[in-house]
Each structure stands twice: as C-alpha cells, then as structure tokens.
Amino acid sequence: MALTGKPFGGEGKPLADAFGRRISYLRLSVTDRCDFRCRYCMAEKMQFLPKREILTIEELAALADTFIARGIRKIRLTGGEPLVRRGIEELVRILGGRIGDGLDELTLTTNASQLRRHAAGLAEAGVRRINVSVDSLDPERFGFITRGGDLAVVLDGIAAAREAGLAVKINMVALKDLNETEIEPMLRWCAAEGHDLTLIETMPLGEVEDDRTDRYLPLDGVRRGLESRFTLTPLDYRTGGPARYARVEELDARIGFITPLTNNFCDGCNRVRVTATGQIYMCLGFDDRLDLRKALREGDAGELDRLLDRAMRLKPERHAFKIDRAGAAPAVSRHMSVTGG
C-alpha cells in the first residue's frame, strides 16, 4: 500500500511533545499473541484479537515509514512474542532496508522460543542486537513463571543468536519470593556468556492471577544488596530505553536497572508505542490512545500526520504507576502483551 500526501522516507516535522522531549524511538508491536503466559504479564487464559483487526505486514511497514519520516531513529519490534507473527522476517527485511536511510537501528524483544529458526534471518536483515526475556535459569521455576515455557529451548535460541552474531541483552523481571535469589547467579551467568543484564521492576498492567504486591521487588534494595558484594560504577551508556547502567567491576559486566516505581525515569522519555492494531499509546502508564489504523487503511497521510501531532500534545509528562496495597487494581486495564514491551 502507499499513502497519498507525501512519500515514505520524505522529510517531515520531527516528533516532539509538549515538554520539549524529542520522540525518536518507536516500539512497534506486531502481534498480541505469545506462546508463553508469564505470570506478571498475562492472564493464563487470554482473549486474543481477531486477525482482521491486526495490521498486515505491509501496513506495519507503511506505518513505520511514516514514523521514520517524522524523525524516529530507532524501532524495536515487540509483541506479545514478535517471532510467532507470520511474515515477521519479511517485515524485518523491509525495515532493515531503512537502516542508514532515516533509521539508525532496528531491534527486537523476544522470549527466544522461536529464535533458533529466526536468528540468522534477523542478522542478515540488519538487526545487530536483541533483548531476550529470561526470568530464571532454573528449569522448573522458569516453567512456573512462564506457565509452561521450556528453558532448554530458550537457551538454545540464545545460542543461535550468538552464532548469528547478534548481541544479546537479558531482561529479568525481579519478583519477590520467586526469583530474587537468582539475581546474582543470573548476573554471573550473563557475565560469563558475554550478555548484558537488565533488571526490571514489575509493572501494574492488566489483571493477572498473581497479586503484584506480593511479587513487587524494589530495585533500589536489590542494587544496595549487589553493591555490598560488587563495585558498581555508574555508566553514561544508553541503548535508547529507560535502563540506567553500571559496570560490575569484579565481573567485567554491565547491568541495567529499569525502575518505574522506585526511581521514575520519565523526564527523558523519548518513546511511543504502537499496538498491532495501530493504536498509539503515548505513555505505558495511561490508557489514552489514538487510532492510526483508519487513516492508514484509507491512505490518508495528512490525517496520519495530524494524529501524530495530536499524540505529541497528549503525551503526559510522566506515568502514575504505583503498587501500594494488596489487591489493588492495576494502573491500566490492558496487559503488557497488548501494548508491547
């Protein structure tokens, strides 16, 4: 498809919100489906969207081009699990062709269950690094957290990524009384394997069977615990997202912390998220969204640009996440798998 009004890849007004923040990073979901059911992310029995509501590969590429024309320099493909999406390698090839032509980087977040068969294709298309979600290195605990995921398959997928030349960053959601004793072993494993590690606080998105108050593990305390055993030197290193990094001197490793609750990072937000149905969310912590799909499918480039301008005016200064009492409703009703990680 081609939108009328301006060619893709053409020059447009850079996206900037009402607080003067330049928006240069798009997290683009390609599906709400996933082959895991991680306890902090999804309900065990999910109701997925009908296929007709999901953007086609061609539509996703066209939408990405519109964002690139408005100054987006980095795109991360997300889900659900992006590698379960039919046609994902075609989309990666298309967007990989934009690198150096408006786009600086194309990345992907995955659970690695399908990575063995896709790693080489991702690398060939221009992807240089990926994020992989691994919340435990204990097979039984991993299966419990993911509700049935196979750790051996995930580790094999990570090995395939390394064979293909992809840099791997491990994302670990810190969960009280579940995987908190594994944080140091995970750090040591990542150091030995040559992976960065990013720890993430659980976020109140969507109704899940577990009570997040029971599982919430503040990362300020985790960091203090690590600092009692290691020397953590703060780094200026950034990957475009909210993680703040430190070097673990004794292990010659890098660790990141994503702290939406204990240390709000919104002042430097450079991101928007678009769902697989073409809804743009200006902030992960609010339900406010605009529908880009209608303008996209009608080929109305002018309306699409107007919607993006409106999205910038509506983007809030910061989120309102909090986990302050047992049984409290989530901050927003949608699951993380709907918005994209």
Residues written for the chain: 341
pLDDT of residue 322: 52
Tell me: is residue 42 an annotated ligand-binding position: no
Instruction: Tell me if 190 is assigned to a ligand binding site.
Output: no
Q: What percent of the chain has pLDDT over 70?
A: 86
Helix H segments across 33-182? 57-69, 88-96, 115-125, 139-146, 151-163
> Does residue 333 lie in a domain region?
yes
Specify the CATH number for the domain of residue 78. Answer: 3.20.20.70
125-181 pLDDT per residue, tens: 999 999 999 999 999 999 999 999 999 999 999 999 999 999 999 999 999 999 999
Is 197:190 a contact under the CB 8 Å cutoff? Answer: yes
Task: Give domain status of residue 334, yes or no.
Answer: yes
Domain holding 31, by residue range, is 25-339
- Enumerate the β-bridge partners of residue 107: 76
Residue 283 known to bind ligand: yes
Let me know if residue 82 belongs to a domain.
yes
Q: Is the residue at 14 inside a domain?
A: no
- Domain assignment present for residue 87? The answer is yes
Contact 111, 35 (CB under 8 A): yes
pLDDT band at 287, cuts 50/70/90?
confident
Q: Are 176 and 167 in contact (CB under 8 A)?
A: no
Residue 202 lies in a domain: yes
Which stretch of DSSP H or E encloses residue 333?
Answer: none
Which of the four pLDDT bands, split at 50, 70 and 90, describes residue 264?
Answer: low
In a domain, 16, yes or no: no
76 annotated as a binding-site residue? yes
> Is 74 annotated for ligand binding?
no
Structural domains in the chain (count): 1
pTM: 0.89
Is residue 29 a known part of a binding site? no
16-72 pLDDT, tens per residue? 999 999 999 999 999 999 999 999 888 888 888 999 999 999 999 999 999 999 999
Q: Is residue 15 part of a domain?
A: no
Contact yes or no for 270/25 (Cβ under 8 A): yes
282 assigned to a ligand binding site? no
pLDDT tens readout for residues 180-239: 999 999 999 999 999 999 999 987 654 545 655 678 899 999 999 999 999 999 999 988
At residue 10, the pLDDT reads: 42
What lies within 8 Å, CB to CB, of 324 at 6+ separation is 213
